Structure 1
Amino acid sequence: MTLLRKLFISIISITLLISCSKKEDSALNTDSDYFMSFKANGTEIIYKDILTAQYTDLPNQNLYGLTIAGANFDGPNTDEDFGIILMDDAPITEGSYNQDYIPNTYSSRAFISYIKGVQAYSSVYPLLSDVAKANVTITEITNTYISGTFSGTLVKSDGDYSVITHEITNGKFKIKLQ
């Protein structure tokens, strides 16, 4: 299985896990200091309940990753979640990540996905779209939490990769590490 396919399957799995989370799950935020917020096409979205940040390192493949996610669930077909996946050939540290490829791989350093109801939007991979973008800056990593900023240009994940559907701006997060 190619690395790109493994990464895509991981993204889908994480998205499904978050989408199906209940309030009693371990990702439930009980500390008001933790959040994820951003604007999608100018509309402010804030996640404070279902949040997770986990390292997803694959040292045997010389890849190190971090998955950051937030979600809301307001009933059938109204759920939404947002995910950020960072990958690098060295452990993830404070700094900036974008869609540049990691040398000798088909993996981008940053990938953003946004799911609203049953429709998925993402920054896809540069091979598929020259308009989709992802920019993530990690500003602080402690033993307890990770914080940073993000922005992106998203396209419909199962559609025309040249049509921009969402501009993500003013993204910020401070999320407890799992």
Structure 2
Amino acid sequence: MKNTTKLLLGALLVAIIFNSCKKSDSNSPTGTSMKFTSNGAAVSFNSCVAISATVGNTSEVLITGINITNAKPGASSFEVELTHDINTLKAGQTYPVASSFSQLDASTLYYFTNASDVFNTQTGNAQGTVSITEVTSTSIKGTFSGKLFAENDFTGTTVLYTITNGSFTAKRGN
């Protein structure tokens, strides 16, 4: 019985992953994705999801791009974090990169280049912006750009990644 339950849960997970990128008709968006230019090189992820979270008393929106291949996530990913309630997001809203921790209506960008290295915007040298271009009950679209630093470079002394031309189409997860 336990093996059957595990098998069914595994099959359900695979179905959810494949369904999240499924096109509903020829007029729908091409699915979820995240694309940007990093130091002049094109980067793209074939899956993107937006979820809500609460940290302390602060509402956040986490928009994550990742490559899914054969139902398995890749090692690299990119995350756009907004300190804003997902239920009040609207097209036309713009979120500057945070210049202080937990700054409301601000953004933070994270680039996980592999399973152990992360680069992000820093409050000591806040450079970048995220703009929401479309919000529906099932998806969120937007654009982003920014300067990323080493995880422990809190003053933002050395720019390691310049992110430009960023865009995402994310499926709302919750």
TM-score normalised to the size of structure 1?
A: 0.69
Contact 2:61 2:84 in 1 (8 A): no
> 1:17 is matched with which residue?
none
- Return 5+ residue gaps in structure 2 as ranges: 1-12, 24-29
What is the CA deviation profile of residues 70-115 of structure 1, one whole-angstrom value per residue up to 9, with x for unaligned ones?
11378xxx7210001101389333310012468xxx3131000001
Q: 1:25 Cα shift? A: 7.5
> 1:148 is matched with which residue?
142
Q: Percent identity?
A: 24
> 2:133 is matched with which residue?
139
TM-score normalised to the size of structure 2?
A: 0.70
Q: Kindly tell me the number of residue pairs found equivalent between the two proteins.
A: 143
Contact 1:37 1:47 in 2 (8 A): yes
* 2:106 is equivalent to residue 119 of structure 1: no
> 1:98 is matched with which residue?
96
Q: Match of 2:21, as an amino acid? A: N
Contact 1:65 1:92 in 2 (8 A): no
- Return 5+ residue gaps in structure 1 as ranges: 1-22
Contact 2:98 2:108 in 1 (8 A): no
> 2:53 is matched with which residue?
56
What is the CA deviation profile of residues 114-144 of structure 1, one whole-angstrom value per residue up to 9, with x for unaligned ones?
01122210002x2xx22x4231000110001
Q: Match of 2:108, as an amino acid? A: F
SS in structure 1 at match of 2:88 = coil
> 2:67 is matched with which residue?
72
CA distance in structure 1 between the aligned counterparts of 2:80 and 2:118, rounded to whole angstroms: 14
Instruction: Find the structure with the greater CA-based Rg.
Output: 2
Instruction: Return closer, same or farther for 1:34/1:72 CA change in 2, 3 Å cut-off.
Output: closer
Equivalent in 64, 80, 84 of residue 80 of structure 2: 84
Aligned pairs for 1:152-171 within 5 A: 152-159=146-153, 161-171=156-166
Most deviating of 161-170 and 26-35: 26-35
CA distance in structure 2 between the aligned counterparts of 1:51 and 1:100, rounded to whole angstroms: 22
Alignment RMSD: 2.7
